[in-house]
Amino acid sequence: MPVPSRSRPVVLAVSSGGGHWVQMQRLTSAFEGAEVHYATTDPTVSEQIGAGEVHVYPDANKTTPVRLALCIARLAIIVLRVRPDVIVSTGAAGGVIAIRLGRLIGARTLFIDSIANARELSVSARLALGVADRVLSQWPAVAEHTGADYRGAVL
């Protein structure tokens, strides 16, 4: 079934809570003119955002397999409902999952690794390297030896 044409791009910004969320919020001006949906593990962030819809998914990682399955299911629902043109993530596991799902529907994808990863890419960023259209490191030396790109720092 063809997707109706839209007057502006739809962005799904995916981030777990804490520092990942802070870095995502520093990027909001880049989404100007787009319809923005946020997906996060922190249900309290909707109070922090003036515009955009907030979707919540369970926080999970490889050591919590049941929660990981729930996370995948919830993110699949979000991606299918939102039908984003672009998915941007600042991490962590949920961002990689959303990027994988987004690629299945033809979304362009970007994973931005945390500023805290000054010596090597995070596990999530390494997983995103094989899937995302672009993976950015906020450290030039890390980008140089990992295959990620460097375009500056968010913080």
Fold of 10-43+52-150: Rossmann fold (3.40.50)
**Looking at residue 146, what is its pLDDT?**
95
Residue 5 has pLDDT above 70, yes or no: no
**Looking at residue 131, what is its pLDDT?**
96
What is the side-by-side order of every strand in the sheet holding 35-40? 53-56, 35-40, 10-15, 86-91, 108-112, 134-137, 149-150
Per-residue pLDDT, averaged over 132-141, amounts to 96
Q: What is the pLDDT of residues 21-47, one digit of tens each?
A: 999 999 999 999 999 999 999 988 877
Per-residue pLDDT, averaged over 85-103, amounts to 97
The residue ranges of every structural domain in the chain are 10-43+52-150
Per-residue pLDDT, averaged over 121-135, amounts to 96
